[in-house]
Structures are given as structure tokens and as C-alpha cells.
Homo-oligomer: A and B are copies of this chain.
Amino acid sequence: MPEQIHVMERRTRQRAALKEAIEQAARPLTPQEILAEAQDAVPGLGIATVYRNIKALMSEGWLHKVEMPGGVDRYERAGLHHHHHFHCQECDRVFDVEGCPGNVESLAPPGFQVASHEIVLYGRCATCSS
């Protein structure tokens, strides 16, 4: 009687390309951006695979969702230290921003409990400024 071994995750070129694209970017990427990057390595890659793996990588804690105002969700490696984001109004890319003003919770009105916060800077990135 053959043992039934449950394979939870297989190593595929697609998944490797997706993870590689995400790590190389070093900034939050939209599903479309992930697709475009990963297609350099795996030409036929489809958008469904991107979404499937985003969901999988999220649930295994490898990936983290970044929600930006008025835009689609973006994703970056989980486990990065506390940071914020810069949204370029020209190229629509989002970049990580180090540091935090601190003392942000004190802005909340009395009785409001602050669990976390997000700061988003808008403007033009270095590339679009030059």
C-alpha cells in the first residue's frame, strides 16, 4: 500500500520568477507589475498564476499587502522593518521610504485607540524629477 504523501508546494519556474521579481524590485508592486517583471524570465506566464501565487505567498507569510489610496493593492516582501511609502504621481510607481516622524498616535482624538498608521508621500520620484 503506497503511502499518501501530501505535497503542499512544488517548485515551479513561475513561482521562482515571481518571487525573484518581487525581491529585485525592492518596492511594492501591483499584480500587473509583478507579471511584467516575471515575464522576462517566463514569457508565457499568465495573470491568473500571479494572483494564485500572491494569495499563496500571502498565506505562508512571505508576502505582505500594501494598500494605497485610490489604487490597486500592491505587494512587497513581508518582514521589512517599519517604513512608509512614496507614490509618484507621474509614473504611478510606489517606493519605500525609511523613517517615521514618530509620535503619530498622539494625533488621535481622546478615546480613539491607534493600532497602526500609514504615511503616504505624493510627488515625483527621482527619475521623473530629472
Contacts and interface: CB of A to CB of B under 8 A. Distances in A.
Query: Can you tell how many copies of this chain the complex includes?
Result: 2
Contact-residue size bin, chain A (C-beta under 8 Å from the other chain): 35 or more
A12 interface: no
Interface string A62-85: 000001111001000000000010
A110 interface: yes
Contact of A123 (B68, B112, B123): B112
22 contacts: A68-B69, A69-B118, A84-B107, A86-B108, A95-B112, A97-B107, A100-B107, A101-B102, A101-B107, A104-B119, A104-B121, A111-B126, A112-B121, A112-B124, A112-B129, A114-B123, A115-B122, A116-B121, A116-B123, A117-B119, A117-B122, A118-B120
